Amino acid sequence: MHVHASVTNAIDEVLQAELGIPGAWYEALVEIAFAGGLMRMQEFAVETTLTKSGATRFVDRLERAGLVERRSCPTDRRVHHLALTDVGKKLQKSADPHVLRVFEEEFARFISEDEASVILTALSRVRMEHAGM
């Protein structure tokens, strides 16, 4: 938990200083991008570990910033999707090199390729187990 906090705090500091956005915004944009640019609001809440109301307030801020937009599902009126706007896509892509640089400086440079492979395998297995795959 200490390593995670150290790396995420460093990423947050760099994104705030260099792009003027919180790290949590970047994380949200990446989650939606990895989902193909469109994600159910309920899935977003789960992936970002926010409550339903917390996710709603968070998305309100992203929407006001012009980074995402809510879309109604054409087949189920109860379902809402989040979509990255062009501004959101551009910001996420422009932030990627900053995040990768910090990740390298704060974490990756301390482990070998073999160690990275073992970590990836283990974390992938844990994630699949928790996702019920």
pLDDT of 133 strictly over 70: no
Mean pLDDT, rounded, of the chain: 92
pLDDT of 5 strictly over 90: yes
Which pLDDT belongs to residue 59? 93
Domains of the chain by residue range: 2-130
Which pLDDT belongs to residue 104? 96
pLDDT of 132 strictly over 80: no
pLDDT of 68 strictly over 70: yes
Please give the CATH topology (third level) of the domain spanning 2-130.
Answer: Arc Repressor Mutant, subunit A (1.10.10)
Place of tokens 């989040």: 82
Q: What are the C-alpha distances in Å from 107 to residues 4, 45, 101, 112, 129?
A: 9, 27, 10, 11, 25
Which pLDDT belongs to residue 51? 82
Which pLDDT belongs to residue 114? 96
Cα 70 to Cα 63: distance, rounded to the nearest angstrom = 8
Which pLDDT belongs to residue 15? 97
pLDDT in tens, 22-60: 999 999 999 999 999 999 988 888 888 888 888 889 999
| Interstrand relation of 80-84 and 38-40 (parallel, antiparallel or unpaired) | antiparallel
